[in-house]
Amino acid sequence: MKTLANKVALVTGSARGLGRAIAERYAALGASVVLNYYRDQAAADEVLRTVQALGVPAIAVQADMSRVADIERLFAEAQRAYGRLDIVVANAGVELVDLPATDFTEAQFDHLFSLNAKGTYFTLQQGARAVADNGRLLYVASSTTAFPAPGMAVYGGSKTPGRYLIDVLAKELGPRGITANSIIPYATAGAGIFTEGHSSVEYLIVANPMGRLATVADVANVAEFFASDLASFVSGQHLLVNGGANL
C-alpha cells in the first residue's frame, strides 16, 4: 500500500546504510524523497536511480550536515522542489569506537560533535520550521546513548544531545500535531562500521538474545511506523531496535 503517497520525506545521510534504507522504504510507500549526501555522488546517484525506479519524484542534494549554511541550503532546495515537507529524518552521523575516554583528542571531539550533535540540532531545527502540520521528525540515535560502553565516550556522548532535543520538540510541536521520535538501533549489518564487518561482530551476535545484528530493514520498519498514521499519537519516544539486548 502507498501509505505515504502525497508526502515528501527528507533523509540526511541517505547515500548508504540506514539513511538509504529509510529513504528507499519511504519511496516504496509512495513518498517523494529528498536525498542527502556529503561526498559520494556516485553512491547518491545510485540511490536516486533506485528511488526513481519506484515511480516517485526524488532529488539528491550535496550538503555537509556539520555546516549550518549547508543545512539551510538543503532545506531550501527541498522546499523549492516540492513546496512542502512532511517527514524529516536526521540520520547523518559519523562513528568513532574503541577509543578510551583518556585518549580522545580535541580534533576528534570537535569532528564528532560538529556532525552528530550540532548537525543533528540544526537539522531538527530546520525540520521543525519546515515540516507541515501533522508531520514527522525522526532522529536516528545509537544504542550507546542507552547503554554507555567502554571506548564510546565521544561517540555516545555526541549522539546523546539529539535525544534531548527530540523530547523538547515533542512538547513544542505537539499543538501542531507533529510528532518527534528517536530510533535507537543496535549494531546494524550493512551500516556504519559494520558495512564491511568489524572485530566486535561475533561478540555482539552472541550477546544479543536473538543471536544476530540488526539489519537496515529492521530500522526501516520502525522508520515506516513512526512516519505512518499509526504513530499519530506517539511522540517523544526513543525506541530501541535491538532484539532485547542490554548493550
Active site residues: 155
Question: How many angstroms separate the CA atoms of 28 and 11, rounded?
Answer: 14
- Dihedral in degrees, nearest 10, Cα atoms 241, 137, 192, 147: -50
126 membership: H or E segment, kind and range: helix 120-130
Q: Rg of the Cα trace of the chain?
A: 17
What is the crossing angle of helices 161-173 and 120-130, to 10°? Answer: 10
Nearest CA-CA partner of 144 in 116, 123, 119: 116
Residue pair 22/227 in contact by the 8 Å Cβ criterion: no
Judge whether 30 and 24 are in contact, CB under 8 Å. no
The cell numbers describing 180, all together, are 518527534
Rounded to the nearest 5 degrees, what angle is found at the Cα of 188, between the Cα atoms of 184 and 190? Answer: 140
- Cell (9 digits) for 42: 556516485
Give CA–CA dist 25/122, Å, rounded: 24
